[in-house]
Amino acid sequence: MWERSTGRFSPTFSDSCPKSTLILAELLTYLQTSQLNDGTWEGQGGHENSIFVWLALLADSSTASITAADNLAAYYDNQTNAAIPQHGLHHWKYFTAAIHLSEY
């Protein structure tokens, strides 16, 4: 899945650091290609953790990152129209959606 990011970080880490640039490029490629059909990413904690993926995508202005961010916005738009259940931790879905959509 990942290329090996070898070498040392530069003294100016993270600015002008070839290793940091490579790690970021590998991460963005992985995130852009591992998005689920519903616009989220799978992982520990459920779809609510997709907000952190989205924040990483915002650091990149490529078409692939913007498309992935658009897909997540559509997911949140579709998921936040229902009544909030009064049990469990459903508020996290609405909290993360509010952050995402207000920055989007």
What value does the mean pLDDT take over residues 70-94?
Answer: 74
Per-residue pLDDT for 62 more than 50?
yes
Residue-wise DSSP of the chain: ------SPPPTTTTTT-HHHHHHHHHHHHHHHHS--TTS----TT-GGGHHHHHHHHHT---HHHHHHHHHHHHHHHHHSSSPPPSSTTTHHHHHHHHHHHHH-
Split at pLDDT 50, 70, 90, the class of 98 is confident
Instruction: Indicate yes or no: pTM above 0.75.
Output: no
**pLDDT reported for residue 90:** 67
Higher pLDDT among residues 81 and 78, named by residue: 78
**pLDDT reported for residue 1:** 47
24/20 Cα distance (integer angstroms): 6
**pLDDT reported for residue 4:** 61
The structural domains of the chain, with segments of one domain joined by +, span 18-103
